[in-house]
Amino acid sequence: MNSLLKVLADSSFDPSGLIIGVVFGIVGLMAIIVIICHIKIVKQTDEFVIERLGKYTTTWGVGIHFLLPFFERIASRVSMKEQIGDFPPQAVITKDNVTMQIDTVVFYFVTDSKLFTYGVTDPTQALEKLTATTLRNIIGDLDLDTTLTSRDTINARMKTILDEATDPWGIKVTRVEVKNILPPQDIRDAMERQMRAEREKREKILLAEGQKQSQILIAEGEKESAILRAEADKVSQIKKAEGFAESTLKIKKAEADAIKLINEANPSKQVIQLESLKTLEKVADGKATKIIVPSELQNLASINDVFNSSKE
């Protein structure tokens, strides 16, 4: 305190110089702060639209940039990444006068930051309204069943229309998806009953097809079994006939051989009649009640009695 008073008391001290120094220091500090605040860094996924005195000047890409104080300003910061527009459900009317709720999702990205900034007031809201009107126009040309089964067609038509309409806004529509289709409750109930009836119909058809196939397989099995049995009977009959023919042939051959041997032996008439008598004895052993004896055998029998009596 004493030193300060001594300085003030000194006649050689000039207070105006101190004030000027303080002012320049403050001005310099403010200038440094302003310069630092106007150094901008643009990220990889962004672009800055710059205006100078209210007029578009340039678009900044990635890197470090300096914004001219008091003359330039950042009009908009635009993200170049692909964006998702998940819009609320829209009430639409089909060709057959069915009102339903449909909500869509639009995938898009910005191709031109200048057009995105100056082409329309609110690009996101404009895209939402355009999507709603386009969806109403497309669904208005389709009936209920076609709407429920033609999502891919609806998506493709909406993408084409939206992509063409948003070109002046610097927007590229890459994909449009119908996320949900919600018909009225009575329509949903009718569709559920229809699906239940269709499932029952398919079940009955499958059961009938199964029974038909089963009966066909059983009939084919019985047919093949009958064919195999017939083939087996045929083979058996053939084998029996062949066996009978072979045995008959052997018997006849044996008889022929016996006759041949008899002929070669040249038997007398008495021997032949005696053999005939032996055969008659075998015949008499059966159950026959009446036997007719040829006259030759009767004569042979009388001769045999005479022969036996002569022996006695």
pLDDT digits (tens, 9 = 90+) for 4-47: 445 444 545 456 666 777 777 888 888 888 888 888 899 988 99
Residue range(s) in the chain whose domain bears CATH number 3.30.479.30: 83-183
Q: How far is CA 110 from CA 40, 76, 148, 190, in A?
A: 21, 13, 32, 44
pLDDT computed for residue 195 by the predictor: 81
For the chain, give the mean pLDDT: 80
Task: Return phi, psi of residue 35, to 5°.
Answer: -65, -45
Helix (H/G/I), strand (E/B), else coil: 16: helix
Query: 162 Cβ partners below 8 Å, 6+ apart?
Result: 106, 127, 130, 131, 134, 173, 176
* Bridge partners, residue 140, by sequence: none
Mean pLDDT of 192-220: 86
Mean pLDDT of 237-253: 82
pLDDT digits (tens, 9 = 90+) for 166-181: 999 999 999 999 888 8
pLDDT computed for residue 250 by the predictor: 80
Identify the architecture of domain 83-183 in CATH. Answer: 2-Layer Sandwich (3.30)
Residue whose structure tokens are 């005939």: 276
Asked whether the beta carbons of 176 and 159 are under 8 A apart, the reply is yes
Mean pLDDT of 98-115: 91
